Structure 1
Amino acid sequence: MFVRDVHPILSVRRERGYPDVVSREPFRSDVGNLRPEGLVGPAEGARVSFWKRLRARAGASLNAKSEAGALLERTQVGHAEVVHLAGGVPHRARLFASSLAPDPQYRLVIVDLPERTLDELAAVLPVGTRGVRLVPVPSGEDLSLVDGQSLAEAVGSSVVLPLGAVRPSHAGVSFDDPRIDGRWVRYRPGAEASWAGRRLPQPPWDVPGTLAETRSLEGEVVAEPLPSGVWLRAAGDDRWTRAARARLTRWVPCRSDEIIVALGAEGLAPLSVEIVSRWWESFVGPHRELLRFVQVGPVRTDAGEPAGQALADAIGTEIVFYCGLPVHSLNGPEVVALRPDGSHGWSLFAHTVTYRPRESSVLPAMTPTLHSYRKPIPRLPKVTTGVYRYDSDTVVEVVPAGLWIRGEAEPDYSDFVRTLPPDPRTPTVFHNSSDGEMTAHHWQCAEEVAERLRRTTGAEVRVQPTDGIEPAPPTSWMSHPGKQAPVPEIDVPATQQPADEEEPLVLLMQLVGGHDAPTEDREAAVPEVAPAAKVIEMAEIAAADPVPDPPVVPEQTAPAASVPDDVRDRALIREAWPEHFAGVGDTEDLDAFTDLMAARLHLGPLGLEARRPDADTSGPLAALGRRAVEGLSGLARHRGVTAAAVAPTPDQWARLGEHGVLVEPGLCAMSLAQPASGTGTTDLLIWSMTGRVVERPGGDGKGVLFPPGTSFAVLEVIEPRENERGRVLLRELSDLKSRAQSLDDLILSSLRQSAERWRRTSASETVLNTEGEVGRLPGMPAENVLEGSTGR
């Protein structure tokens, strides 16, 4: 017969900071403890523990347990087990357990119980030689109410309990209050309690000392433990430190092969390199080579040099420095650039670089070398560290700011490109602009790589030549080493935690793998910008004399036949040209096929007829143009030279001589073949950036279509002379605001080479434009369509 009575050792009040010093006091449980009747006195606890252990090893049934113990359950969730009340695992416990990494030393047991049932843990804990680690759920009951020593005696193995409040971190937990040196305490049967680390999961370098306790350094600088290492920062406003601490705790993973040393924080005073150097000297032991520095705030350096170089000079040895913030996404470890507001930018290719100290203070610093990185493009053969072969004459090199397309021979300015910091808003693909005949090829390769990155990442990618290169515009403290951000004007009640600290960890981990929402600030640093060019609209060209104001007429409703309708347009196209839809049938993709066929028909004579000013706006030709625009979506882009044969009028020559920008309101068709030598008076060459490659209706070749609204910059105009054709060279502009003069020169050189090569080609080798897909200049009125061009 068993009775319930006062249990003298149930409650253990640990004094903060001293896990082996406890104060015992009687604690009356709401449920009570089972013990043999008549056992009283100081030895009661030990005898009860022995009885519990004996009964558990004998395989006692649940019916022999107390009423409260029978209401507890232990359920496997992920890498952990959850102890909870009968009736199902609570949602918060399941979410928390799913985010934890496995513990190689102990069995992880998540405790989600009310205070009145904590004394019944021994009834549901696993019994065996492997110890258990008890972890409370976020905002759960404090496990300091549990007597770890008695629990270890009851289960017959080690029991590890947290000393201090814990909260979720990346794949584990961290201690909530950095001002109190929280730790894990290990209790073993018949042995004294001992220190069991500060971090979960626990890396090999998690030992008592510098990385396990908060220390005050000189000049109001604090060394604060992190799950991933340590954070050196200046004392400051708690609103800034809380935000930075949450970011470093939740996002930066704890790794066994490196120790993160985070430097500074946004909004705090700049960190001194001398203080960091002295902290490094105090960090002695075999784990020093695992230190990896991460700059997350301002660091004061001489003349604004990189913090990594200044620190290497001060320490006098090599150091490894992160190019951004290391995080862990759904795709694995990544390093992301930090935007000025602390949000994550793009995923960097260069992860860490090695800085080496100067041999003398009067000598220039050595270029940092790539230490770790990710492969930029799959299946490219590796040439050397961070360099991959793109084709027979071109390599792709990983640099901190992005990627660099160059030849095998390194140019003289290689070190400068390798020291450019990343722009947190967008990656940059550099290309050599002084490689002679290979210049255009490297530029085209850079565009191909950038387009591939756009498709795979969904991010904006900037292509920039290496001549006239400039650093990214100042966007954060990284561009202002000595600048301190103002204190944010926000009100956080003392009794209320910031909202971001309550966000579930699993959700945060999922957010890393996503893409950031587009921001309004999308301007990028570019080389020397050409003067703003005049935009030539078609209305301006068509009106040689002032046009009088149109008469005022009453508003009229457009007839139903002229109102665009997708179904009606497609029906008109299939009815007008049924030969192109024979055998297609009524399939689910018929509408998409009709749109694609409309684009293909625009490369032939029908396209020229549809672009005439007197074309019917409600018939099949108008429907052909509308559906052709839809048919271009999803087609491959063409980057390179396109051609046509035209015959500009004198007025058009005059306007072309202004070297302005032509805006085409409709579809613009070009050929991929050499212009027909016997057609027109002038060769038109356009460098395409976003033109879509479209197959001709008969399947005998391909052309390029530009969607309505495309802008073209006039680069060169040469009027025809006796026995010599004229030449007009245009460049498609993808962005009018960031038109780079260096790219104009680069594309002009490539277009001239193509025009000269075609000029030397004999007439017998010339490929005629048999489909007659081009007959006018883009952005010009259509009256100058070549006579007979629709019949070629």
Structure 2
Amino acid sequence: MNLLAKRRGTQDGDRNVASHTIGNALVVHMRDSLRQEVRDLALGLAEDPEHQLVVVDIPADSSFSVWESAAKLLPRKRNGVRLVIGGRSRETTTLAGQWLSERLGRTIVAPDGSVMPGVDGSLFVDAGWGTGWVRFQPGKPPQRDGKRFPRPVWENAASFVDTMPTSAGSVAEPLPGGVWLRPRGPERILAAHRARLIETLPAQSEVCTVVLGCPGAAAVSLDDITRFWGWVPAEVRTRLRLLRFGPIAVSADMAFGQHVANAVGESVVCYAGIPVGSRTEPGIYLVRPDGNLGWRAFAEELGYSPQESGQQAAPELLRHREPVFGAEEIRPGAYRYAPDAVLEVVQSGLWLRPPQETANAVSIRTAEADAGRQLVLFDESSPESASRMRQLAEDVFGRLDPHTRRLSWVAPASSVVRRRIEVVGKAAGFIESARPSTPEPVTQVLQIAGPPSVEPSEAPGGVGSALEADTPTEVHPLRLESSPVRGDSGGPASVTDPGPAPIRATGVPETTAGMGTATVLDPPAAPSGPAGPRETATPRNATPPKGTAAPKGTAAPKETSAPKSGITEAPAGPGSGTPTAPAQPDRATAETPPRLENSATTPPGSPTRTEPAGELITITQPTPAPEAAALIPKRGLDEERTWLRRALSQEYSAVANSVGRVLSEHPGFQGALGRSSGRLLADAVAVRLYLSGAGDQVDPALRLGQVGPHVPFARCTVSGLSRLPSHRGAAVFSVTLTAREWELYRSRKLFSEWGFISALTAPCAKQQAEHDVDVLVWSMTSRRTKLLEPEGDATPDRVLFVPGTSFKLLDLVEPEEGKRGQIVLRELGAGEIDASGRVDRNRASLDDLAMSSMRRKMETWAESKGTARTADSAAPRFQTLPGLVRTDRTGE
């Protein structure tokens, strides 16, 4: 009957799912239910020469049979598939990508994060640190594939993929068309401008736009710009185009581009305004102080070279648009307008002058533009030619396009030198008072009174941690469906940009709490395999950081490592504890996380029932108090790192050099080492020590909710693991279980783990020979530890789940004669647990996709030859089921 029901469900799915080719994409949707916004999205998507574009529009709670039917509708081709799924959680999209890759035997590129449509059919995927497009290939671990489609040639540089801090008050945030160097807040100001930049700044293939500042917010400093410049590889710097969008803390004695060139010691290229329109040939529009558009620039790109102190030269005109039709260009930017006159493109507009150079030529070419008025200047230095130049200027004015003419004035060239605009002739408009054509010097710079406040935000690791302030990343989830901009009051934010290509702020990103502050989003680190000292490595006189002191009367927690065997089984009493859900990734702070729905809690150290002293039993893990949890505290980790260097000084010194060498030789750490080498090294050393024998006693104490020196050690380990590659897909290890442990796993579906869980990317033949149960876990956030494994005693295929990760039991099969037992778990994503700890029960499709993918992975593993993958010293780390702990009757 079950087989017939399954077959009938698949057939129903075939009848209910349909596909149509729309534009460059194949759209898979429920029959007779194709939404207009999905149709419009597919119709406008750019072509992908390497992959088949597939837009999926099926309900979020669709059954597994619907996904199976959708897979059957995809043509059988050899090239890969770029999957666009809107309105889904990150767990759904990544699971679907992995499952389709195994199901079809093809490369699948799927979004890990929210999808935002951009200019000319481009797509931008972002939801914070570590998110973007992910490439799934059969039999291979997933790989990040940038944030932008089509992918620009410059995106390979790490500086353009994740939000990075440039100082205590500013960050570099990725945009579809480049990077936004901006202050941290306030979010009520940032939100509308972010939406504008995401929707209108084109992602040019060869050019990366670096947007500087935010209108109405604090200024970014020259140090922020030079620091970011240093992160960019030398071969990519020639592709950068600097764009002044808001205030910059530089004086007005020369152009900001000249300040930057002098500071970095290299030539820089600046946009005169903001690119708008096509990804291949955008128009450049001046930016008003409030962020709205001004007139379309004639001088589009300006080059600045380093100058000696006190010297100033006119910028080089690198790109411009033709001012009038039919004029002969005699040199770049200069046209023969009449036998006795030259029409030259300058920053402030156009300049009519005699063929010979004039005395004030450098000052006129240096004068910066005013976004509110485009000037047609005429040279009046010679009384004989002044009247003629003014007449020709008025003629040029009449030939401008209507929009530019409405914002234009005719004025003598000397007025920009004097910084006064005198309107003459037939020019339109009236100027009430003389105003400088360049901004006033910025004298106030962002002041930071103490460290910035740190709020938790969503990150891709198993625990969403608010990490140290030197690696902030702000998250702004984006929606596939467009929506009007919302201000603080909830009303639509109006945008009144004049011009032929106005910017409309639609599809604004939905901001998360804490974005307006210094949100630290280093991806949550998934701690690696446990390792610990045979004796507690903390000296007795070492003082742990505040909030993590050892219990009164003790210098360190009592060792609680469980023996390999001899565990006494005991049935659970009615008050047996049930673990609570870990904090969601945007709430990974040292606070008690919400409880899982319908779960009881056990106070730290409380037994489930009375047993004879000295005997070990298995219980579900109690929920730790904030001071006993390995979650990253809001205040950061400076105290924990200081404690680590002092308390474990000998162990730290023994491995610091080798760890530092590994970090310096790995490309992924080079940029971070330049910004926070001391903090990064301390965290990496903690990971190495944890993976060695120094970490053996960490997990038992964490699982029992004990307070002691293991807590700061574990927190540093969590932070260090955040830099390591994540593992998405099946993970496995083998165990031998007691009757009590089978009973606990049969009695509930949800488990939370407060220590580190070790697993492998493929089965270990040695483990399987010693144990009769395989534990398979579908991982979303575990971390690969190969890079920091102990030298000479490594387990290179190990992955670690961080403390606070929750799991859902999908299947349980006890071992029989000649048949291995099996426990199948799925890591719960952040979107499945709300703030109160309730778990979304309507995620059956995720369970089905995970089960199907793991079955296929097991088939692949069965065909491969068994390999011993675990070092002998690390073997005990793989003997713990998530959510359980072995302890004596007192829980000590």
Superposition TM-score tier, normalisation by shorter sequence: 0.5 to 0.7
The residue aligned with 2:26 is 81
Structure 2 CA distance for aligned equivalents of residues 143 and 96 of structure 1: 20
1:241 corresponds to which residue? 190
Partner amino acid, structure 1, of 2:54: V
Partner of 1:513: 500
Q: Return closer, same or farther for 1:292/1:175 CA change in 2, 3 Å cut-off.
A: same
Distance 1:409 1:422, change over 3 A: same
For residues 313-328 of structure 1, the aligned pairs below 5 Å read 313-328=262-277
For residues 369-406 of structure 1, the C-alpha deviation after alignment (integer angstroms, 9 at most, x for no partner) is: 11111111122221100111112221211111111111
Q: Paired residue for 1:215, among 164, 167, 177? A: 164
Distance in 1, matches of 2:278 and 2:373, equals: 19
Match of 2:83?
134
Aligned to 1:95: 40
Match for residue 434 of structure 1?
Answer: 381
Distance 2:409 2:78 in 1: 59
CA distance in 1: counterparts of 2:8 and 2:332, whole angstroms: 67
Distance 1:501 1:383, change over 3 A: farther
Q: Deviations for 1:68-97, whole angstroms, at most 9, x for unmatched residues?
A: 233222222233232222226421112222
Paired AA for residue 153 in structure 1: E
Tell me the percent identity: 31
- AA matched with 1:287: V
SS at match of 2:117: strand
Partner AA of 1:218 in structure 2: S
1:258 pairs, out of 199, 203, 207, with 207
Asked if 1:149 corresponds to 2:149, the answer is no
CA distance, structure 2, for counterparts of residue 111 and residue 324 of structure 1: 38
Sort the Cα spacing of 1:303 and 1:508 in 2 relative to 1 into closer, same or farther, 3 A.
closer
Equivalent residues of 1:427, 1:462 under 8 A apart: yes
Asked whether the 8 Å contact 1:329–1:509 carries over to 2, the reply is no
Q: Match for residue 385 of structure 1?
A: 332
Structure 1 pair 475/227, CA: closer, same or farther in 2 (3 Å)?
A: farther
User: C-alpha displacement at 1:327, in angstroms?
Assistant: 1.3
- Helix, strand or coil at the partner of 1:223: strand
1:160 maps to 2:109:
yes
Instruction: Name the structure 2 match of 1:105.
Output: 50
Partner of 2:515: none
Residue 321 of structure 2: aligned partner: 374
Q: Which has the higher contact order (CA 8 A, sep 6+)?
A: 2
- Return the letter of the residue paired with 1:513: P
- Is 1:418 the counterpart of 2:365? The answer is yes
SS of match in other structure, 1:93: helix
| Distance in 1 (alpha carbons) for counterparts of 2:271 and 2:264 | 17
Q: 1:83 to 1:140 in 2, by over 3 A?
A: farther
Task: Provide, for residues 232-261 of structure 1, a one-character-per-residue CA deviation record: whole Å limited to 9, x for no partner.
Answer: 122121112212211221111111111111
The answer as to whether partners of 2:294 and 2:498 remain within 8 angstroms in 1 is no
Deviation at 1:352, TM superposition (A): 1.2
Structure 1 CA distance for aligned equivalents of residues 274 and 437 of structure 2: 14
Q: Which has the higher strand share?
A: 1
Match of 1:694 in 2: none
Answering whether residue 173 of structure 2 is matched by residue 173 of structure 1, we say no
1:150 Cα shift?
2.7
Residue in 1 that maps onto 2:619: none
Name 1:200's counterpart in structure 2: 149
State the shift of 1:485 in Å: 12
The residue type equivalent to 2:122 in the other structure is G
Residue 481 of structure 1 is matched in structure 2 by 442
1:231 paired with 2:201, answer: no
1:378–1:75 distance in 2 versus 1, CA, 3 Å: farther
Residues in 1 aligned to 2:484 and 2:248: alpha-carbon distance in whole angstroms: 29
Aligned residues: 449
Q: CA deviation at 1:106?
A: 1.6
Cα root mean square deviation, aligned? 3.6
Query: 1:483 offset after TM fit, Å?
Result: 5.9
Residues 322 and 352 of structure 1 are in contact (CA less than 8 Å); yes or no, is this contact kept in structure 2?
yes
The 3-state SS of whatever aligns with 1:274 is helix
Out of 114, 124, 128, the position equivalent to 2:59 is 114
Whether 2:226 is the aligned partner of 1:277: answer yes
Contact 1:2 1:34 in 2 (8 A): no
Structure 2 distance, partners of 1:188, 1:154, is 11
Q: Structure 2 regions of 5+ residues with no counterpart?
A: 422-433, 448-475, 505-892
Tell me the SS of whatever aligns to 1:218: coil
CA drift at 1:412:
1.1
TM-score of the aligned structures, taking structure 2 as reference length: 0.46
Corresponding residue for 1:499? 484
After TM superposition, give the deviation of residue 145 of structure 1 in Å: 6.3
| 2:411 partner SS | strand
Structure-2 change in CA distance of 1:208 and 1:306 (3 Å): closer
Of 340, 347, 358, the residue aligned with 1:400 is 347
What's the CA shift string for 1:84-125, capped at 9, x where partnerless? 222264211122223332223222222221121445320222
1:454 CA drift (Å): 4.6
Deviations 1:241-283 (A, max 9, x none): 2122112211111111111111111222211102211221222
1:378/1:118 Cα in 2 relative to 1: closer, same or farther (>3 Å)? farther
Q: Is the 8 A contact 2:169 2:446 kept in 1?
A: no
Q: Indicate conservation of the 8 Å contact 1:257/1:290, yes or no.
A: yes
Instruction: Give yes or no for contact 1:298–1:478 (8 Å, CA) kept in 2.
Output: no
Structure 1's 88 and 305: CA in aligned 2 closer, same or farther, altered over 3 A?
A: same
Match of 2:129, SS?
A: coil
1:444-463 aligned within 5 A: 444-455=391-402, 457=404, 459-463=406-410
SS class of match (1:341): coil
Q: Deviations over 1:672-729 (max 9, x none)?
A: xxxxxxxxxxxxxxxxxxxxxxxxxxxxxxxxxxxxxxxxxxxxxxxxxxxxxxxxxx
Computing the radius of gyration from Cα coordinates, the structure with the larger value is: 1
Q: In 2, are the aligned partners of 1:197 and 1:208 still within 8 Å (CA)? A: no
Distance 1:328 1:410 in 2: 36
> Does structure 1 conserve the Cα–Cα contact (< 8 Å) formed by 2:126 and 2:147?
no
| C-alpha separation in 2, matches of 1:366 and 1:256 | 31
Instruction: Please state how far the C-alpha of 1:172 moved relative to its aligned partner.
Output: 2.0
1:208 Cα deviation (Å)?
5.6
TM-score (norm 1): 0.52
Q: Which residue, 350, 353, 371 being the options, matches 2:302?
A: 353
Deviation at 1:302, TM superposition (A): 3.5
Give the whole-Å Cα distance in 2 for the aligned partners of 1:350 and 1:191: 49
2:399 & 2:74 partners in 1: Cα distance? 53
* Residue type of the alignment partner of 2:484: A
| Alpha-carbon separation, structure 2, partners of 1:441 and 1:197 | 57
Contact 2:327 2:336 in 1 (8 A): yes
Q: Distance in 1 between matches of 2:497 and 2:139?
A: 44
**2:403 touches 2:500 (CA, 8 Å); kept in 1?**
no
In 2, Cα distance between equivalents of 1:167 and 1:383: 44
Amino acid at match of 1:74: S
CA contact (8 A) 2:495 2:503 kept: no
| Paired AA for residue 223 in structure 2 | E
Partners of 2:22 and 2:349 lie apart in 1 by 41
Distance (Å, rounded) in 2 between the aligned partners of 1:270 and 1:516: 23
Residues in 2 aligned to 1:495 and 1:284: alpha-carbon distance in whole angstroms: 29
Q: Is the 8 A contact 1:329 1:512 kept in 2?
A: no
Q: For residues 436 and 32 of structure 2, what CA distance do their matches in structure 1 show?
A: 53
Distance in 2, Cα, partners of 1:202 & 1:512: 29
